[in-house]
Amino acid sequence: MPQSSVVNGKRQHILEAAMELFLEKGYSAASTSELLRRVGGSKTTIYTHFRDKAGLFTAIVDELLKDAVAFSTALDLSELSIREALVVIADEHLKVVLSARYIGLIRIVAAEVGRFPELGKAFYEHGPGKSYESFETFLDLRVAEGELNIANTAQATDVFFGALLHRGRRISGKIRSVSTYLTAFPKERHYAHI
């Protein structure tokens, strides 16, 4: 097995164990000593991969949200109509933000941000901030290609995610996907204002 595979496997194992530890105990109560009891190794191993506890938390956020925040590059949307692409983006985003792990991370950040403001900053910059940036780039490309006429893609991004999260909470558990939800209403009602 190549050395890089071993290193990546160890890193992934640490991330999984740290995620479980943070979800169980919260950020401040989770210790590197407890993490080491679960994964083995030394503090040097953890610090080599992640620099410090905040770096470990940031890596967890990156891992959990990598597909949701990088949809413009992770998903092939090039052959899809704008409506189809928006449905795919919405489905992928809702899968992540309505997951138990994501909700657990939100709870950790909310509970700990007063004492550890860097958590809130890291969470936003590596999660929602990246999603917004990626989506705005997607809209900019579609505007440049003449598929959309949007004067302010940053505002359209805010509207899209705001509406998505509001509707996502209402439809989660009742409807399996955004595409199912969208087919229940006339086509022109959705995304026409963006």
Each domain of the chain, given as residue ranges in start order, spans: 3-189
Mean pLDDT of 30-34: 90
pLDDT of 27 above 50 = yes
The 10s digit of each residue's pLDDT in 142-159 is 999 999 999 999 999 999
* pLDDT on residue 4: 60
Q: CA dist 77 to 11, 83, 101, 136, Å?
A: 31, 11, 26, 14
Determine if the pTM surpasses 0.75: no
* pLDDT on residue 150: 92
Query: Are 127 and 65 a contacting pair, CB within 8 Å?
Result: yes
CATH number of 3-189: 1.10.357.10
d(CA 92, CA 90): 6
Looking at per-residue pLDDT, the higher value among 167 and 180 belongs to 167
- Of 47, 71, 84, 60, the C-alpha closest to 183 is 84
Output the average pLDDT for the chain: 78
Looking at per-residue pLDDT, the higher value among 38 and 101 belongs to 38
The 10s digit of each residue's pLDDT in 54-107 is 888 888 878 877 755 665 556 677 788 888 888 888 888 888 888 888 888 888
Residue 176, class by beta-carbon neighbours within 10 Å (0-12 exposed, 13-18 middle, 19+ buried)? exposed
